[in-house]
Amino acid sequence: MLQVRDVRLKNGAPPVDLELRAGELVGVAGLEGMGKRASSRRYAASGRPAAAR
């Protein structure tokens, strides 16, 4: 299981929670510049969040 709580992609942004279990698939959609790449990097641990628990 992958579980993240209270991740903030940048200072002042609202916190985000994510929980994935074995066999689940996730799709991310949004307009250009809305943070899809930044979110993916944070959850994959290749980027550093502004804050997390």
Helix (H) or strand (E) holding 32: none
Question: C-alpha distances in angstroms, 40 versus 25, 33, 46?
Answer: 14, 13, 9
Please tell me the pTM assigned to this model: 0.47
Chunked into runs of 10 residues, the chain (53 residues) has average pLDDT values of 80 85 81 74 61 60
Question: Is the CB of residue 41 less than 8 Å from the CB of residue 50?
Answer: no
Radius of gyration, CA atoms only, the chain: 11
State the chain's mean pLDDT as an integer.
75
What integer pLDDT is reported at residue 43 of this predicted model? 65
Q: Provide the residue ranges of all domains of the chain, joining segments of one domain with +.
A: 1-22+29-53
What integer pLDDT is reported at residue 53 of this predicted model? 61
What integer pLDDT is reported at residue 48 of this predicted model? 59
What integer pLDDT is reported at residue 40 of this predicted model? 72
